[in-house]
Structure 1
Amino acid sequence: MKLCLVMLARIEKKNNDYFLDKKNINVINRYLKYFDEVCVVARKTKKSNSLYPREVFRHEKVTFSLYEELEKIYNFPNYIRKFKAILKKNIYNSDLILCWAEPKTNIIINEAKKLNKTNMIYVGVCTRDALRAKRNLAKKFAGWIFYFTIRNAVKKADYVHYVTDKELQRRYPTSSKQIGSSYVNVNTQVSEKYKAEKVQGYKKEKKHIQLGLIGYLNEIKGIDTAIFALSKLDSCYRLKVLGGGEKEYYKTLAKQCGVQNRIEFEGTLPPGEPIFEWLDKIDIYIQPSRTEGLPRATIEAMSRGCPIVTSTAMGLIELTDEKWRHKPGDWKTLAYLIQKLAQNKTELSKQSARSFNVVKKYDRDVLDNKIDIFFKEILNNIS
């Protein structure tokens, strides 16, 4: 069986070597267990810089077909023509076409349908919300156009893989075979001693309330919402932000709001234990995102027993207690909820215990078994 995997990744090619970041390498590897061959169709980038370090990826079962990135809008027709040419060649020789819910999804599904090939869409985020969060008016408008084209593609697809249980399904419905399951990989197995100490720890008096937020520094993650909210809280509240990106804009915003001495931008950390150690120092975790699929960072925070206050963006609704949610961008309500929760030690302990309980459903073995069953059904139907 051969998979044509149409990715959103930017891949760097030097001589005959392909360079990918670890996140995208993991994406490819998770499908190798089901297919004899995987052909990756993705963008070729000329830029060597990347948010996450790239490394050489070689695998005897994986080949690459790269197309040039769109650099100038007037080149769009030529860009699409070349993309379609590469796409058709790879679809023709594949058994399953798998792509992400993104602006070109409708093109991909249409080409697969023309060649009578089984196809599947991975819906991990709402593109409309992601573009509406941008400060650029053209991108905000494009968000609505892409929303309808992606929604149309999802309706036509043979199979759909959502990362949420309900929320993305409501936004992008289908009557085809579907699954709701995330690839989030967190340690849900913590000792009972740690749980007890964490929950009981919230009953103690604290001089400072440490807030935490993990996310790339951009409009989507609501960093500005968090800064505005912090400015409404008194000086005992501090905020740590973990994530890459351009921090100068947010440092300037923090200074304008008078909270520059109460906020720390701490860059990035390797996944795993360093992240958990960072989260163990957080009293309340916040995720004021303007859009989300099912955020790994929030689930990681919950796996360490952090009480959470989040926006109502997509998958966050499935994680957060209703009374501790605010509308995206509503920094006044965010500030109110943080203060209300921080001043109630009983509720802090209750929400800490709740986080430990909710995160159990994201046990990796349980999710993997669910996904395995789904893919075995697909492969049986193709063969």
Structure 2
Amino acid sequence: MKKVLFVHDGPIYTNHDKSIFYGVHYNDTLIERYAYFGNCVNFLMRSAVVSEKEGKNFSIIKHPAFSFIEVPNFKSIRAYFKKSEATAIIKKAVDEHDVIILRLPSAIGAIAFEYANSINKPVLIEKVACVYDALWNYDWRGKLIASQKMKKYQAILQKASHTIYVTDKFLQSRYPTKGKAIGCSDVIVNDLDVSILNKRILKIATLPKILTIGTVAAIDVPYKGQADVIQAIAILKKQNILFHYKIVGQGDATRLNKIIEQYHVADLVKIVGPLKQEQVFDFLDTIDLYIQPSKQEGLPRAVIEAMSRACPILGSDIAGIPELINKNSLFQAGNVSKIVEFLKQLNKITLEKWARENFLKAATFKTETLNIKREQFYKEFKQDYNLK
């Protein structure tokens, strides 16, 4: 029986006694994907406890192959003394598994890679984001170590034998590998019936006086950029140009709530909080414009999901976003005045054009198409390591 170890920092959300695990970032579909390599899939990462009330907003992981190995948090200064304990857990887990799948960037994943590589364990890397952008846009402390961390992951990718990048170009250019690689998003897009586009076109034709903008992203990290949109909404409000802005995502809303209060836009901006996957698609159908104002990304899943619902989209010009949407709907990350300009110039003709283009592009991310591409790479990985 082959045992698969999936390594990431997480956290994976759980209840107090760790008897229930919630599929916020990780779900049964992902576990089924990794079960291609074995009928036991262990997740090695940190955990975070959510209340019973919060848990009702999430789906539950039920896949029979799933199990969990917890790594203590060692990433903060106060918790750094736990690194030796964490390293011991990571090495033991690597020793006990046959296939190691690493999602990078990840502090746990970096340790696992160096050890697994030293003992010739089969390692498959998923490169999903740029660590430099994440740290540089986090706070002043991040700026001090951004270049150092980027070089660290560049070195790992140079040594990697097999890598799946979620972008087609961006991550490959920053983190090139000498090994085998493909570009393949991990997004799940199934329903692409033309009726979705037709409903969107009708919605655009009958736009309300106040348009609703939406973003789906973690709400507790500054680099997702929702604060820039809130500021743009406030500037437009002073000009008597109104937009509603709905923010979907998990995390502590304290920081964003303070910004909403600071700019006096509580009447226009709403933090929805986390939604289950099927609810996200319903949410996307209710908005008039999707915006991804991120300062760090890989290939943002939420943008592709919005494309699959024929949403007109505005996005920052970073990472994989320019690979997805019209160049004329991109703005420089952090440029609030450009967001304001875009929103002031919106019209039905442009919105319909973007909706059609985005829906057509979404077809290239159909689940069955990506699954074929990914499984072919999985097959090659198994053959290269002589895995039965």
TM-score, normalised via structure 1 length? 0.88
Equivalence map 1:281-292=2 (5 Å): 281-292=286-297
SS in 2 for 1:189: coil
Contact 1:112-1:118 within 8 A present in 2 as well: yes
Equivalence map 1:276-315=2 (5 Å): 276-315=281-320
Q: Equivalent residue for 1:210?
A: 212
Q: Does 1:6 align with 2:21?
A: no
SS in 1 for 2:167: coil
Alpha-carbon distance in 1 for matches of 2:364, 2:275: 26
Q: Equivalent residue for 2:260?
A: 254
Q: Which residue identity lines up with residue 311 of structure 1 in the other structure?
A: S
| Residues 238-293 of structure 1 deviation map (CA, whole Å, 9 limit, x = unaligned) | 22222233334333323332433222222233221x33332222111111011112
Give the C-alpha shift of residue 349 in structure 1: 1.2
Alpha-carbon distance in 1 for matches of 2:134, 2:112: 21
Give the C-alpha shift of residue 325 in structure 1: 0.6
Q: Equivalent residue for 1:362?
A: 365
Contact 2:9-2:108 within 8 A present in 1 as well: no
Q: Equivalent residue for 1:271?
A: 277
How many residues get paired? 375
Cα gap change, 1:371 to 1:57, in 2 (>3 Å): same
SS in 2 for 1:38: strand
Contact 1:309-1:338 within 8 A present in 2 as well: no
Between stretches 253-262 and 60-69, larger displacement belongs to 60-69
Contact 1:188-1:360 within 8 A present in 2 as well: no
Q: Which residue identity lines up with residue 80 of structure 1 in the other structure?
A: K
| Residues 341-363 of structure 1 deviation map (CA, whole Å, 9 limit, x = unaligned) | x1x32222111111110110110
Identity %: 27
Give the C-alpha shift of residue 62 in structure 1: 4.8
Alpha-carbon distance in 1 for matches of 2:19, 2:45: 11
Cα gap change, 1:3 to 1:197, in 2 (>3 Å): closer
Residue of 90, 110, 119 corresponding to 1:115: 119
Q: Which residue identity lines up with residue 288 of structure 1 in the other structure?
A: P
Cα gap change, 1:93 to 1:279, in 2 (>3 Å): closer
Between stretches 350-359 and 112-121, larger displacement belongs to 112-121
Give the C-alpha shift of residue 300 in structure 1: 1.8
Contact 1:103-1:150 within 8 A present in 2 as well: no
Alpha-carbon distance in 2 for matches of 1:55, 1:337: 36
Q: Does 1:31 align with 2:34?
A: yes
Cα gap change, 1:115 to 1:71, in 2 (>3 Å): closer
Cα gap change, 1:163 to 1:228, in 2 (>3 Å): same
Cα gap change, 1:287 to 1:92, in 2 (>3 Å): same
SS in 1 for 2:294: coil
Contact 2:15-2:55 within 8 A present in 1 as well: no
Give the C-alpha shift of residue 156 in structure 1: 0.8
Alpha-carbon distance in 2 for matches of 1:320, 1:25: 27
SS in 2 for 1:196: helix
Alpha-carbon distance in 2 for matches of 1:68, 1:158: 28
What are structure 2's unaligned runs of at least 5 residues? Answer: none
Q: Give the aligned CA root-mean-square deviation in angstroms.
A: 2.7
Q: Equivalent residue for 1:155?
A: 158
Give the C-alpha shift of residue 201 in structure 1: 4.1
Contact 1:195-1:305 within 8 A present in 2 as well: yes
Contact 1:306-1:352 within 8 A present in 2 as well: yes
Give the C-alpha shift of residue 329 in structure 1: 0.8
| Residues 131-170 of structure 1 deviation map (CA, whole Å, 9 limit, x = unaligned) | 22223x2233233322111111111111111111111111
Q: Which residue identity lines up with residue 109 of structure 1 in the other structure?
A: F
Q: Equivalent residue for 1:168?
A: 171
| Residues 218-250 of structure 1 deviation map (CA, whole Å, 9 limit, x = unaligned) | 312111110111123243322222223333433
Q: Equivalent residue for 2:243?
A: 237
Residue of 317, 333, 350 corresponding to 2:322: 317
What are structure 1's unaligned runs of at least 5 residues? Answer: none
Between stretches 100-109 and 345-354, larger displacement belongs to 100-109
Alpha-carbon distance in 2 for matches of 1:259, 1:269: 23
Residue of 352, 372, 379 corresponding to 1:349: 352
